[in-house]
Amino acid sequence: MSEFAGAGAEIGSFYPMPRPDASPPVEEHLPPREWLKKNLFSNVFNSALTVAAGLLIIVMLRGLLGFIFNPLRQWNATAVNLRLLMTHAYPADQYLRVWFSVAAFLILTGLSIAVWRAGSRVPVPDVGKRVTALGVFVTLSALLAPFSGSARLSWLAVAVFLLASGLSVSRTSKDRSVSSLSLLVGVCGLAALSLWVIPYGHHSFVSDRTPKILAEPGTVDLTTKLPWTIMLLIAVAAYGVGLLLRDRIPAKVARTSLVLAWILTPILLLFLVLRDPDFDMGHVLSTDIPIFLVFAVLGSALLFWLTNPETGEVGRIVAVTVLFLAFGSFLMPMRMVIRIFMLLLAIFSLAGPTFSGDRRTRHNYVAIWTGTAVFVSWLITAINTPSTAPVPGQFFLGGFSMTLMVAFFTLLVSFPLGVMLALARTSNMPIFRLLATWFIEFVRGVPLITILIFFSVMVPLFLPDGMDLSEVAAVTIGYALFASAYLAENVRGGIQSVTRGQHEAAEAVGMTTSQKTVFIVLPQALRVAIPPLVGQVIGTFKETSLLIIIGLFDLLFVAKAIIPNQTAFMGSTRENLMVISLIYWVISYSMSKASMRIEKRVGLGEQ
Amino acid sequence: MTDVTDVTETETGTDSGGAARSGRDLSSAKDMIVCEGVSKWYGDFQALEGVSATIKEQEVVVVLGPSGSGKSTWIRCINRLEEHQEGLIVVDGVELSNDLRNIEKVRSEVGMVFQQFNLFPHLKVRDNVSLAPIWVRKKSKAEAEEQAQALLELVGIPEQADKFPGQLSGGQQQRVAIARALAMEPKIMLFDEPTSALDPEMIKEVLDVMKNLALSGMTMMVVTHEMGFAKEVADRIIFMEEGQIVEVGTPEHFFTNPTEDRTKLFLSQILA
């Protein structure tokens, strides 16, 4: 190496090496005029474009503000009907259940933010710049909007306040920073405070006998401002608890249980809290629990034996036998619960040899089976139990909650299904490949609306006697099948991006095909597929609005068909559509933001 | 492997000590790999034309040859990453056929190191090494991780266990790949051009690990272009061209006194 060291010194004299303590060159900070000249008016063409775009923005803003602040607009329509938009006809005296559900989600959000260490430090001057930009926007709006003189003045006063505070904050030292989370809480706190202080107007819908709408001056109703204030406090408290727990529980355990909670909570809330099932304890004790116990105990014993590495070939034969028994159970008259349990047990049995290992691994496997059995058993019982929530119409939820619910269940079903389809389509087995390809190509060739209508109208006709499927459930299944076909294609893209070398490396250490798929291929494939998958999640959420075509009472239906038909708000369609597009946008945009975070984070591990 | 000590301190001589190993008498050792008339076609192109060779236990065989000569194809046939169409391959008494159980058995006894490392990028280094022992060898997690740590120490990078492969240099990655293969406690190690994708200054660290492995008595089959390694470590050198074995011999014979014209031509190009 010595001769190379000499060569290095020689090169050093030709090309001066950077000093070890050299700091990177300071980023050039242009004054506003220079910046404008460099970026917006650098040449004639650029200047013309800037002017044209500026004019276009002003014209559009003027049109939009003219629409919003037109005295003919009935913004009351959404304010009064918020409950209708959110839950449709859910009984008002049961509203504690709704707030309980909102609180549950906020608790999960708070805990997740703490455990995943979301949020970042924002330099204080940057906050000032944002506030200044907002001030500029409000000034522009105040000048463009069709206000009366006094209204314009008060808006301008707000704008001046924003500009002044923004500019003063942006002058502060760059070293000071503030956490983005406390900013968020601050903004939400101010919003909650404004509910108590600012006279937005007192809107309520009184539905006793002759429905009438009250819109009086004053602050909003106590049934609005009190719960939202409590919700904010709950969210902050949950974050605090999350901070405390974060250092006491291993990160992996905390994250896994939170993900599980995010999946299970909506189901529990829907079937236990919101639906308030009227459990028939006699039936539960005499039928449901015994069936569960049989499968839990015998299944555990079977799986414990199957995951023993010494079981060998006999285990595979037994697993296949269970599968045939499960298929056979559909040919004989018996309870649907038993068939479902048989199928589940067959899947667990077939996967058993793949996950066989030492005693601890086997115990974990059996525990997962028991947990699944408890949950499935409870869910089936809850679904079959009539609801006590007295609601007119066919389904107890509507509006935004139905949109959320259908989107959630669609994703929950379509995700595993899509992954399985993708695996089948890329597998070496011709039958699986053929079936998956046919299914995907067929579903992708049929419009979503056709599938939704088919499932709402035709499927109930095909069901066997005694089996009843609500329209919402039927449509959700149809939508999930549709979504899974597209999801499968996205996942397939990911699977094909896993290099041949990865397959060979996994094979060379002796992994079986299923082990290779679970431990090597799928983790990498799903990571690659995150951007298209998030795009699809957002699409699925938004396209639930197609439910309006079948006449289900989702958010769009309430906004388009119900509120504009109230005598007080005849023809308020446009206002409602604007509000719900805002709701859709906020949710989709936050999902998009979250996915960017995830992408960044997974990218880190790979570098 | 007990006599493998600190890898990083071992010196790589270039031409000294070459004869020390080639003098070994392995004729009484057990046959580990037997190939008889192995042929393989890619479409119309014949990649292997009746390759026959026997590799003894503890023997280190280096396969040389120009690119496209079928070296990699042959070595990949031995653990069935490629399927041979004619002939017979027997690994430690198990014949490679279409029987899946035989293939799995052979693969868990034959470790392989690839040119492109092929580490699992989504797993930490420790998990890369311990994954297969846990799920294929059915070891407990604690035991497998302890073994992984010991192997990482053996290849000289115990401090990298909690990093992801992408954060390591090429040489470190290839050493992790060797540790991963060793974690399955194989009887045979196959190396498919293990240093060809490395920067020159990293080749030595990988060759050192391989040399120690050879000294510890591992049966090894190495496809490489590293003549120094071949001279020093190999018991036998197999020279291949156009899918055929052209010449077999000890390093001494091969580098000083080759009989075949094609070997001479190859050597003159390589050593020029």
The secondary structure element, H or E, covering residue A216 is strand A212-216
- Alpha-carbon torsion (A38, A43, A46, A48), positive or negative: positive
B204 at the A interface (CB within 8 A)? no
- Beta strand B219-223 with B188-192 is parallel
Confidence class for position A30, pLDDT limits 50, 70, 90: confident
Local confidence band at B18 (pLDDT 50, 70, 90 cut-offs): very low
**A37-51, A83-97, A405-419, B5-19, range with the lowest pLDDT:** B5-19
| Per-residue pLDDT, A117 | 82
Q: What percent of chain A has pLDDT over 70?
A: 90
pLDDT (mean) for B132-137: 90
Q: Which of A460, A407, A414 is closest to A439 using CA atoms?
A: A414
**CA closest to B78 among chain A residues:** A508
Decide: A559 and A399 in contact? Cβ < 8 Å: no
The answer to whether the Cβ–Cβ distance between B132 and A509 falls below 8 Å is yes
pLDDT band for A172, please (50, 70, 90 cuts): confident
| Alpha helices for A249-387 (secondary structure H) | 251-268, 281-283, 289-306, 313-329, 336-351, 359-384
Nearest to A519 among B112, B131, B183 (CB): B131
Residues A114-126, mean pLDDT to the nearest whole number = 84
Residue A10 has a pLDDT of: 45
Q: Does B216 touch chain A (CB under 8 A)?
A: no
* pLDDT (mean) for B57-86: 90
Q: Rounded to whole angstroms, what are the CA distances from B217 to B35, B37, B233, B248? A: 21, 28, 12, 21
Nearest by CB: B122 against A499, A506, A524? A524
CA gap B14, A359 in Å, rounded: 50
Partner B, chain A 523-542, Cβ-Cβ below 8 Å: 523-524, 527
Nearest by CB to residue A510, choosing from B116, B121, B132, is B132
B129 touches chain A (CB under 8 A): no
User: What DSSP designation does A21 have?
Assistant: T
CA distance to partner chain A, nearest, from residue B169 (Å):
11
- Burial label for A52, CB within 10 Å (0-12, 13-18, 19+), is exposed
Mean pLDDT score, A162-175: 85
Determine the average pLDDT of the residues in A54-76.
87
Q: Note whether B141 contacts A: Cβ–Cβ < 8 A.
A: yes
- Residue A238 pLDDT grade (very low, low, confident, very high; cuts 50, 70, 90): very high
Of B76 and A389, the one with more pLDDT: B76
The chain-wide mean pLDDT, for chain A, equals 85
- B164/A605 Cβ within 8 A: yes
Query: Do the beta carbons of residue A212 and residue A232 sit within 8 Å?
Result: no
The pLDDT-based confidence of A520 (bands split at 50, 70, 90) is very high
pLDDT at B90 over 70: yes
Sequential DSSP letters for A405-427: HHHHHHHHHHHHHHHHHHHHHHS
The neighbour count for residue A132, using CB atoms within 10 Å, is 19
Question: What is the Cα–Cα distance from B177 to B205, expressed in whole angstroms?
Answer: 13
Which chain A residues are Cβ-neighbours of B116 within 8 angstroms?
501
Distance in angstroms between the alpha carbons of the first and the last residue of chain B:
37
Is B108 at the interface with chain A, CB within 8 A? Answer: yes
pLDDT at A213: 60
Global pTM value: 0.84
Please give the C-alpha separations between residue A400 and each of A85, A94, A254, A348, in angstroms, as whole numbers.
6, 17, 30, 36
pLDDT (0 to 100) of residue A11? 45
Report the pLDDT value the prediction gives residue B93, as an integer from 0 to 100: 86
Q: Could you tell me if B242 and B69 are in contact, meaning their C-beta atoms sit under 8 angstroms apart? A: yes
Is residue A256 scored above 80 in pLDDT? yes
Q: Which residues of B touch A361 (CB under 8 A)?
A: 134, 140-141
- For A511, which of B79, B132, B181 is closest by C-beta distance? B132
Q: Is the pLDDT of residue A19 over 70?
A: no
The answer to whether residue B150 scores a pLDDT higher than 90 is yes
DSSP class of residue A311? -
What's the token pair of residue B195? 């240093």
Quick one: angle between helices A222-246 and A251-268, nearest 10? Answer: 150
pLDDT higher than threshold 90 for residue A370: yes
Q: What pLDDT digit, counting tens, does each position of A403-427 carry?
A: 999 999 999 999 999 999 999 999 9
- Lowest mean per-residue pLDDT among A203-207, A348-352, A396-400: A203-207
- Please count the residues of chain B: 272
Burial of A105 (0-12, 13-18, 19+ CB in 10 A): middle
Distance from CA of B1 to the nearest CA of A (A): 19
Percentage of chain A lying above the pLDDT 90 cut: 34
Task: Return the pLDDT at B16.
Answer: 40
Would you state the structure tokens that stand for residue A488, as one six-digit string?
Answer: 């499968």
Q: Nearest CA of chain A to the CA of B260: how many Å?
A: 35
pLDDT for A209 equals: 53
User: How many other CB atoms sit within 10 Å of the CB of residue A422?
Assistant: 27
**Does pLDDT of B174 surpass 50?**
yes
Residues B204-221: tens digit of each pLDDT: 999 999 999 999 989 999
- CB atoms B164 and A607 under 8 Å: yes
Q: What is the pLDDT, as a whole number, of residue A60?
A: 92
Chain A residues touching residue B179 (CB < 8 angstroms): none
- CB count within 10 Å of CB A239 equals 23
Closest-CA residue to A256 (of A107, A376, A105, A112): A112
- What is the reported pLDDT for A467? 67
The pLDDT confidence band at residue A3, using thresholds 50, 70 and 90, is very low
Q: Which of A354, A504, A605 sits opposite B122 (nearest CB)?
A: A605
Contact A132, A170 (CB under 8 A): yes
Structure tokens at A141: 């709006």
CA distance B241 to chain A (A): 25
Domain spans of chain A, in order of start: 1-30+73-79+395-607, 91-278, 279-385
Phi-psi domain of B50 (left: phi exceeds 0; alpha: psi -120 through 50; beta: other): left
Domain A1-30+73-79+395-607 annotated CATH 1.10.3720.10: yes
CB B36 within 8 A of CB B48: no
User: How far is it, in rounded angstroms, from Cα A399 to Cα B149?
Assistant: 56
**A523–B134 C-beta distance less than 8 A:** no
Q: Nearest to residue B129, comparing CAs of B170, B107, B92, B157?
A: B157
* CB interface of A with B, residues 300-359, below 8 Å: 309, 354-359
d(CA B125, CA B130): 9
B112–chain A Cβ distance below 8 A for any pair: yes
Residue B111 forms beta bridges with which residues? B189
For the ranges A349-358, A455-464, B161-170, the lowest mean pLDDT is seen at: A455-464
d(CA B40, CA B34): 16
Average pLDDT over residues B164-192: 92
Check CB contact under 8 Å for A360 and B180: no
Q: Is the pLDDT of residue A365 over 60?
A: yes
The pLDDT assigned to A596 comes to: 83
3-state secondary structure chain B: CCCCCCHHHCCCCCCCCHHHHHCCCCCCCCEEEEEEEEEEEECCEEEEEEEEEEEECCCEEEEECCCCCCHHHHHHHHCCCCCCCEEEEEECCEECCCCHHHHHHHHHHEEEECCCCCCCCCCCHHHHHHHHHHHCCCCCHHHHHHHHHHHHHHCCCHHHCCCCHHHCCHHHHHHHHHHHHHCCCCCEEEEECCCCCCCHHHHHHHHHHHHHHHHCCCEEEEECCCHHHHHHHCCEEEEEECCEEEEEECHHHHHHCCCCHHHHHHHHHHHC
CA distance A552 to A562: 12
ipTM of the modeled complex: 0.88
Q: How near does any CA of chain B get to the CA of A370, in Å?
A: 22
Most confident of A61-75, A84-98, A505-519, A551-565: A505-519
Q: Is A601 exposed, middle or buried (0-12, 13-18, 19+ CB in 10 A)?
A: exposed
Looking at chain B, which residue has its C-alpha nearest residue A308? B138
